[in-house]
């Protein structure tokens, strides 16, 4: 297991339990206690956790993993979700993408699809897709793709998710119209709707939804039924939800009753 994988796993355990003991973590990861101590010390230096005698605790009550440490979680599910979403996007559509690991996979799937379809297009100079995003990592990956016109909002960058937020972001989104908004979320509650950890990111995702003709929510099934701090919008604003096949049947039924088309892949 590489250091990156160990750190991801340690932070996942910390997010779930709120605290870690060195011996228990060493057993869970099948490495030596000395290795865990070094990892915890290095993570503490990066202010990812607070070191304690014999272990570590999370910062604060609500703990949000930075994007770079979440990328390996439910990776295969997210790739299947992304491929399914790419099939829902039409040629020439203007697509809004907020930040997150699943929407990053959607961006990659869209880039592959756009590249594959170029051979059949008579006009090789026109982009086959326009993507509007407030995520710096998504913009960086798509900027080198000539088949995609990339529009990046302004704003202040959040280091945890690489998302741009604030009045500058709002200003740009208020000037565009989207065919589809693809939204990654941290929770989907049957009563409260779509949720995320940060209120500034919630307001930007809400604006993405308001500027779009269709709203597609992408999330693995672990987020279903889960609540987070900030509400994005109600389920009445969602047209399609794409998730993995582990979606509970009861939740699928409730979403369908709300008028949402569910794709469980």
Question: Would you say residue 54 has pLDDT above 80?
Answer: yes
10 Å CB burial of residue 252 (0-12, 13-18, 19+) is: middle
Three-class SS state of 12:
helix
Band of pLDDT at residue 46, cut at 50, 70 and 90? confident
Question: Would you say residue 152 has pLDDT above 50?
Answer: yes
Question: Would you say residue 52 has pLDDT above 60?
Answer: yes
Band of pLDDT at residue 45, cut at 50, 70 and 90? confident
CA distance to 104, 155, 156, per residue, from 162 (Å): 11, 11, 9
Question: Would you say residue 72 has pLDDT above 60?
Answer: no
Q: Which of 216, 228, 265, 225 is nearest to 248 (CA)?
A: 225
Average pLDDT over residues 115-139: 76
Question: Would you say residue 248 has pLDDT above 90?
Answer: yes
Question: Would you say residue 70 has pLDDT above 70?
Answer: no
pLDDT at 62: 42
List own/partner pairs for 107-113 with CB under 8 A and 24 or more apart: 107/131, 107/133, 107/138, 107/141, 107/142, 108/82, 108/141, 109/79, 109/82, 109/83, 109/85, 110/86, 110/148, 111/141, 111/142, 111/145, 111/147, 111/148, 112/86, 113/86, 113/89
Name the one residue in this structure whose structure tokens are 């295969």: 76
Average pLDDT over residues 99-103: 93
Band of pLDDT at residue 235, cut at 50, 70 and 90? very high
pLDDT at 13: 82
pLDDT at 119: 44
Percent of the chain at pLDDT exceeding 70: 88
Q: How far is the C-alpha of 82 from the C-alpha of 110, rounded, in Å?
A: 8
Average pLDDT over residues 231-260: 96
Three-class SS state of 195:
strand
Higher-pLDDT residue of 93 and 128 is: 93
Residues written for the chain: 265
Q: Are 49 and 14 in contact (CB under 8 A)?
A: yes
pLDDT at 121: 45
Q: Which of 97, 45, 13, 59 is nearest to 197 (CA)?
A: 59
Percent of the chain at pLDDT exceeding 90: 69
pLDDT at 73: 56
Average pLDDT over residues 164-188: 97
């Amino acid at each position: 297991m590489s250091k990156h994988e160990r750190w991801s796993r340690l932070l996942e355990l910390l997010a779930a339990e709120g605290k870690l003991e060195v011996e228990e973590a060493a057993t869970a990861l099948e490495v030596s206690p000395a290795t865990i101590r070094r990892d915890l010390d290095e993570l503490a230096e990066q202010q990812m956790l607070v070191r304690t005698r014999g272990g570590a605790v999370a910062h604060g009550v609500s703990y949000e993993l930075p994007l770079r440490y979440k990328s390996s979680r439910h990776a295969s599910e997210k790739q299947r979700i992304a491929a399914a979403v790419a099939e829902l996007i039409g040629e020439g559509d203007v697509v809004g993408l907020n930040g997150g690991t699943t929407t990053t996979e959607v961006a990659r799937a869209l880039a592959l699809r756009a590249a594959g379809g170029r051979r059949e297009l008579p006009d090789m100079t026109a982009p086959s897709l326009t993507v509007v995003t407030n995520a710096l990592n998504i913009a960086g990956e798509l900027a080198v793709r000539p088949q995609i016109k990339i529009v990046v909002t302004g704003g202040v960058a959040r280091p945890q998710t690489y998302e741009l937020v604030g009045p500058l972001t709002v200003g740009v989104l208020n000037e565009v119209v989207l065919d589809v908004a693809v939204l990654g979320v941290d929770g989907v509650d049957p009563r409260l709707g779509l949720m995320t950890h940060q209120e500034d990111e919630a307001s930007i995702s809400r604006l993405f939804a308001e500027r779009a003709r269709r709203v597609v929510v992408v999330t693995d099934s672990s987020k279903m039924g889960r609540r987070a701090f900030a509400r994005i919008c109600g389920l009445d604003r969602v047209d399609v939800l794409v998730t993995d096949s582990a979606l509970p049947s009861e939740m699928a039924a409730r979403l369908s009753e709300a008028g949402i088309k569910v794709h469980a892949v």
